[in-house]
Amino acid sequence: MSDSEVEERSGDRRKKPAREGQAVDVGDVFRELFNLLEQYAPTWYTEEHHNRAVAALRLLQEDRQLAEGKAARSHKAS
């Protein structure tokens, strides 16, 4: 992966260019993959994998809520 592919977009570290002119929200992609794993439940997908993924989703949600709160507070201050 080149340095330009890892550059931050719009101050959001989760958004990285997927292809020229596109941006990807890593949290959204992770959520999509989680849903696919839950739906198809491959034999290698254990309860431990599920629990780790749920914990990661919670962290992503908390991070998103904190970011939204900071944005709202800075918007009020301006």
pLDDT tens string 6-53: 444 344 555 555 676 678 899 999 999 999 999 999 999 999 999 999
The beta-strand segments (E) located in 1-78 are 15-17, 23-25
pTM (two decimals):
0.64
What pLDDT, on the 0 to 100 scale, is given for residue 2? 46
